Every structure is written in C-alpha cells, then in structure tokens.
Amino acid sequence: MSEYQIIHNPRCSKSRQTLALLQENGIEPTIIEYLKEPLTAAQIESIAGKLADGIESMVRRKEPLYKELGLSEQPPAAAEWPQLLAEHPKLIERPIVIKGNAARIGRPPETVLELL
C-alpha cells in the first residue's frame, strides 16, 4: 500500500486532476473509489480527524441530495456526520488525499501539494 491514499471519484474532474497532479510528482496513491467501496462511519471519522477543518469540510453542500435530505434547513450535529456520510457517500467532498496523520481536500487540486 502506498503511503498516500486518495478518496476518488473518476467521474469528477477535480478528482482526476488531483490524481494526475500526484502522479506528475511521482506518487502512485492507493485509490479508494468511495462510491464503489463505501467508507464506514469509523473511516470517515478518522479522515475527518486528519483534516484541518474537520468533518464539516468533507460535506458537499451543493450536492442535490444535501437539500433533498433537508440538511440545509436542519444541519446535523457534528457527531452525526460520520454515519450520515457513510449512508450517503455522494455527500462526501472529493478528492481527499491522505498521508499519515494529515489529509487535504483537492479543491483546488494544488492544495494536496502541502502533503508532499
């Protein structure tokens, strides 16, 4: 397993750009296609702990499902997010690159260069 992991959606242009950026820098991360292999609540909580802005930075608020679930009117408590994101992986912001105890969301893709 690579020391880098990427929470990846190959249909997302930012995710593809971030993966290409890593590869251009000689990094072949372990690719986790989270829509095919959903993350558990425990995995999501672990990743959130590695992000500077915590779990709420992992949430795709512009995803139609966010509004459909009524989350714009009644956002859940921070402790509820891991289970909610595990049940609805479309709500997870991507890509997320993880290295050791640090993680960055690749928006913009260059943000992940902080991990190199």
Task: Give tens-digit pLDDT for 41-99.
Answer: 999 999 999 999 999 999 999 999 999 999 999 989 989 999 999 999 999 999 999 99
Euclidean distance between CA atoms 76 and 84, whole angstroms: 9
Spatial contact of 96 and 104, defined as CB atoms under 8 Å apart: yes
Q: What SS3 state is found at 32?
A: strand
Catalogue all structural domains in the chain, each as residue range(s) with its CATH number.
Answer: 4-115 (3.40.30.10)
Spatial contact of 108 and 98, defined as CB atoms under 8 Å apart: no
The yes-or-no verdict on residue 1 having pLDDT over 80 is no
Task: Give tens-digit pLDDT for 13-42.
Answer: 999 999 999 999 999 999 999 999 999 999
Preceding amide of 95 cis, omega within 30: yes
- Residues across the chain: 116
List active site positions.
12
Per-residue confidence (pLDDT) for residue 16, from 0 to 100: 98
